[in-house]
Amino acid sequence: DVQMTQSPSSLSASVGDRVTITCRASQNIYSSLNWYQQKPGKAPELLIYAASSLQSGVPSRFGGSGSGTDFTLTISSLQPEDFATYYCQQSYSIPYTFGRGTKLDIK
Amino acid sequence: QVQLVQSGAEVKRPGASVKVSCKASGYTFTSYEINWLRQAPGQGLEWMGWMNLNSGNSGSAQKFQGRVTMTTDTSISTAYLELSSLGSEDTAVYYCARQATSIWSWYFDLWGPGTLISVSS
């Protein structure tokens, strides 16, 4: 199985900050990497697919980059509604696997 | 409205089975695959399996093989997940998710709200 290592596991930041979350795959997954946001008690929502493609309706302050084994999710200017948990997920091979999540909270 | 609606929360005894439903609306049901995932309390996301709604073909993660059955009733745009031999470790929120594709990736672009399954004696 492809192991996904996400860091940091938690992060405190302020409104307006630029934030970066990283995800590393245990093998080359090309661009088969997706990012999700989850708020407490809610289902995850897709932010970025194929490493860098912004899902329709997602604000442009969210951006994804990377390929191969190393990927990054960047939020350019944090808004109050962005405080949530973020997960990366590889879709290169079954079983699809997720990172353990990054909980982003207010400093 | 494009959405997935899941069945309600259930409490099960150890050793029992549970069947969760996922009803799609607002799009052509058979044009996408449905995946099932779960999330134990306070934990991350775990992928369980997928189903092609046209062919009926399915596949699951190795840890669930022999215990999971995925079915569909296309006449009512509904997919089902059945999990047998439940243990306390199966207590989780179970999600169905629509799988979309791009040239580089498969991804889950539409999620159901989740169904809480609690296993307790």
3 state SS for A55-99: CCCCCCCEEEEEECCEEEEEECCCCHHHCCEEEEEECCCCCCEEC
- Per-residue confidence at B23, pLDDT binned at 50, 70, 90? very high
Q: Is A67 exposed, middle or buried (0-12, 13-18, 19+ CB in 10 A)?
A: middle
Q: Give how far B91 is from chain A: nearest CA, Å.
A: 15
Q: Give how far B101 is from chain A: nearest CA, Å.
A: 9
pLDDT of A107 > 90? The answer is no
Q: Yes or no: say if A85 and A74 are a contact pair by the CB < 8 Å rule.
A: no
CA triple B53-B56-B59, angle to 5 deg: 100
pLDDT of A41 > 90? The answer is yes
Tell me whether A97 touches chain B (CB under 8 Å).
Answer: yes
The single-letter code of the amino acid at B10 is E
Contact B104/A43, CB-based, under 8 Å? Answer: no
Tens digits of per-residue pLDDT, A51-91? 999 999 999 999 999 999 999 999 999 999 999 999 999 99
Tens digits of per-residue pLDDT, B39-93? 999 999 999 999 999 898 999 999 999 999 999 999 999 999 999 999 999 999 9
Alpha-carbon distance values, A18 to A53, A68, A78, A105 (Å): 19, 24, 6, 13
Q: What is the mean pLDDT of residues B14-21?
A: 98
- Per-residue confidence at B104, pLDDT binned at 50, 70, 90? confident
Please name which of B18, A94, A38, B27 lies closest in space to residue B4, comparing C-alpha atoms.
B27
State how far Cα B59 lies from the chain centre.
Answer: 12
Of A42, A45, A50, the CB nearest to B102: A50
What is the distance between the alpha carbons of residues A34 and A53, in angstroms, rounded to a whole number? 9
